[in-house]
């Protein structure tokens, strides 16, 4: 997720930084056709899946097929975020700074799940297949700057931007975009919490 929170708290963000994160995800004057999604790692905290259920929003696991309930509850899920919906507030209040997931923006989400599933598994140098937890903001922050131009085109595909909490979540939200084939990272600083 994106950044926020003061050093004295366990998690979450206060209202001013919270609004700054919302503004970074839904900038004023941005195209109304752009949608914001979260990919959430339900294995990080049981509260994530509970919040998804309570949100009454449509959400989908990135794993395919009919999943046993135990796996469904800990799989990565994608959900479209609606500005002003209480789920966004709950996500930022409870999950910011706890590596619950990542955000992304996209113009046409019709093939988004298919795209995000493409890099759930990777091969290591010995050919062994591994689960790639790119939806952990710590992993995505480390991975994207190491990508070649071809890898970046693959990872971004139809995605306009990926947004994650900064390494120090109190510092801001980092937005990654492709600009002329190169990775562009922009940090939107958060105001100091009261």
| Position 3 pLDDT exceeds 50 | no
How far is the C-alpha of 163 from the C-alpha of 187, rounded, in Å? 9
> Do the strands 35-41 and 76-81 form a parallel or antiparallel pair, or are they unpaired?
antiparallel
pLDDT in tens, 137-156: 999 999 999 999 999 999 99
Q: What interhelical angle do 15-25 and 86-95 show, nearest 10?
A: 120
Q: Is residue 167 a contact partner of residue 173, using CB atoms and an 8 Å limit? A: no
How far is the C-alpha of 21 from the C-alpha of 3, rounded, in Å? 7
DSSP state of 111: G
Strands (E), 53-92: 59-61, 76-81
pLDDT in tens, 100-144: 999 999 999 999 999 999 999 988 889 999 999 999 999 999 999
Q: What's this model's pTM, rounded to 2 decimal places?
A: 0.88
| Position 1 pLDDT exceeds 80 | no
- Residues constituting the chain: 194
């Amino acid at each position: 997720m994106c950044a926020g929170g003061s050093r004295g708290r366990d998690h979450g963000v206060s209202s001013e930084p919270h609004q700054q994160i919302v503004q970074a995800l839904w900038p004023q004057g941005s195209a109304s056709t752009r949608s914001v999604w979260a990919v959430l790692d339900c294995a990080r905290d049981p509260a994530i899946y509970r919040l998804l259920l309570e949100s009454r929003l449509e959400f989908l696991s990135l794993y395919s097929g009919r999943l046993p309930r135990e796996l469904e509850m800990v799989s990565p899920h994608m959900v479209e975020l609606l500005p002003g919906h209480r789920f966004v507030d709950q996500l930022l209040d409870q999950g910011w700074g706890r590596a619950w997931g990542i955000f992304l923006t996209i113009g046409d989400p019709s093939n988004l799940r298919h795209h995000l599933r493409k890099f759930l598994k990777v091969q290591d140098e010995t050919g062994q297949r591994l689960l790639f937890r790119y939806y952990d903001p710590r992993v995505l922050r480390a991975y994207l700057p190491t990508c070649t131009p071809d890898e970046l085109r693959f990872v971004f595909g139809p995605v306009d931007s990926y947004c994650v909490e900064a390494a120090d979540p109190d510092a801001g939200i980092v937005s990654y975009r492709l600009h002329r084939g190169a990775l562009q990272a922009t940090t939107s600083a958060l105001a100091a919490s009261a």
